[in-house]
Amino acid sequence: MKHDVIVLGAGMVGISCALHLQRKGLSVAVLDRRAPGQETSFGNAGMIQRETIAPLEFPRDPAFLFSALWNRRVDVQYHPGAVLRSLKPLLGYWRNSAPARHRQISSEYETLIALSLETHTEFMRQAQAKHLIGGTGYVSVFRTERALHKAFKLADAHAARGVQHVKLTPTQLADMEPSLSIPCVGAVHWTDLLAINDPGALVQAYATLFERQGGQVQTGDAMTLRRSAGDTWQVQADDGSVLEGQRVVVALGPWSVELTARFGYAPPMFIKRGYHMHYAPLADRPLHHWIADAQNGYLICPMAQGLRLTTGAELADRDAAPTPRQLAQAEAIAQQVFPLGKRLDARPWVGARPCMPDMKAVFGAVPGQPAMWCNFGHGHQGFTLGPITGELLAALMTGAQPRVNVQPFAPTRFV
């Protein structure tokens, strides 16, 4: 089976690349070992985060760092061995989080975030997937005056850059969410973003659109990729067939570098894991919005499968046994602020955010490999950024002019 392009990975990023390449008139096949949208793109908080115009930096506040050392915070925890193994990328992350450097990176990051909503909205329209929108905006709730003041200042700075919000008093919050009993001094309602009530289903809807338009989705192991004698790329599908492509795109999220390293390209990715659990909603105590308990670093999301509680960052090896301590801590706090029903999942879901030291995705031609392209490393916002980075990669691959400067995201920055 010969194609112009084989895309490896059917998460939000891979499927978005496939759709954009198809739009360019290319014949495209996608290969994944699972059905579309079953891994990181399934378990996230489902937010298309137009408001996140700056990527999450390594905190530099000494008080925060001291408290994080004890490894008991709800928002950040770590496995010491994993930190040692990822020391180099983490030091890079630290350096890139210095204020001047972070400002520069944020200005590059913002060029992508600014186009995230429109690229998703267009896909959703074509895929007839707007019913998956669970709400607009999310509400970030603050428990201390100091944190609220900082959040309001940030919100005003964002407003000057076109990101909308509403500042809420505790009474206004109580009117919006009567079942929430969080001891707070105020909240910010970011009104620009879209909250998706089943993130995996959105990827599946995009994949169905891709197939309806003639694309092929196959299951198989991407690690079987090889270069043929005839200078094409070949990969083995589970049904015994061989997919052959003139070009290949590596979009394997947190597994990407495992493959590219085999072909001589090993950029310094590190992993921030996150957990989720679903709880039965109580019929008489509805939750209408995605709620972030900002100072405790967890979210409660009213999703199709139930109330999904998602946790912050765990610096750990991607495949280490799950240690869902943050989930247990967050659950105990969340139970005090909102009535969660019984746990619905047999065990906590764990996923891996694929993070780069400069907080930016990596997309473009893979250095040193003819006809190999990549799109990965989207960290905390891959669900948001899949469609726009897919569009830009497709432009690069077809010699069109990308509509933003793609240089800051070039794979060559890690050579």
Ligand X SMILES: Cc1cc2nc3c(=O)[nH]c(=O)nc-3n(C[C@H](O)[C@H](O)[C@H](O)COP(=O)(O)OP(=O)(O)OC[C@H]3O[C@@H](n4cnc5c(N)ncnc54)[C@H](O)[C@@H]3O)c2cc1C
Q: Which residues form the interface with ligand X (CB under 6 A)? A: 9-14, 32-34, 38-41, 43-47, 49, 221-223, 251-255, 274, 276, 310, 351, 353, 376, 378, 380-384
Burial, 254: exposed, middle or buried (Cβ in 10 Å; 0-12, 13-18, 19+)?
A: buried
Burial, 126: exposed, middle or buried (Cβ in 10 Å; 0-12, 13-18, 19+)?
A: middle
Q: Which is nearer to ligand X, 55 or 186 (CB)?
A: 55
Q: Which is nearer to ligand X, 115 or 282 (CB)?
A: 115
Output the smallest distance, CB 252 to ligand X, in A: 4
Output the smallest distance, CB 313 to ligand X, in A: 9
Output the smallest distance, CB 237 to ligand X, in A: 10
Q: Which is nearer to ligand X, 44 or 204 (CB)?
A: 44
Residue at token pair 């799950």: 322
Determine how β-strand 270-279 pairs with β-strand 313-315: antiparallel
Output the smallest distance, CB 146 to ligand X, in A: 26
DSSP per-residue string spanning 81-113:
HHHHHTHHHHHHHHHHTSHHHHHHHHHHHHHHH
Q: Which is nearer to ligand X, 247 or 353 (CB)?
A: 353
Output the smallest distance, CB 264 to ligand X, in A: 18
Burial, 397: exposed, middle or buried (Cβ in 10 Å; 0-12, 13-18, 19+)?
A: buried
Secondary structure class of 126 (helix, strand, coil): helix
With a CB cutoff of 8 Å and minimum separation 6, the contacts of 413 are 358, 362
Q: Which is nearer to ligand X, 42 or 338 (CB)?
A: 42
Q: Report the distance separating Cα 312 and Cα 329, nearest Å.
A: 11
Q: Which is nearer to ligand X, 13 or 132 (CB)?
A: 13
Q: Which is nearer to ligand X, 155 or 222 (CB)?
A: 222
Q: Which is nearer to ligand X, 185 or 333 (CB)?
A: 333
Q: Report the distance separating Cα 314 and Cα 271, nearest Å.
A: 8
Q: Which is nearer to ligand X, 175 or 211 (CB)?
A: 211
Put residue 277 in one of left, alpha, beta given phi > 0 → left and psi -120 to 50 → alpha.
beta
Output the smallest distance, CB 83 to ligand X, in A: 18
DSSP run (H or E) holding 290: strand 290-293
Output the smallest distance, CB 224 to ligand X, in A: 8
Radius of gyration of the chain (CA): 21
Output the smallest distance, CB 271 to ligand X, in A: 10
- Tell me the two tokens of residue 303: 């999703």
Taking a C-beta distance cutoff of 8 angstroms, is the pair 406, 364 a contact? Answer: yes
Output the smallest distance, CB 370 to ligand X, in A: 22
Taking a C-beta distance cutoff of 8 angstroms, is the pair 196, 180 a contact? Answer: no
Q: Report the distance separating Cα 74 and Cα 79, nearest Å.
A: 14
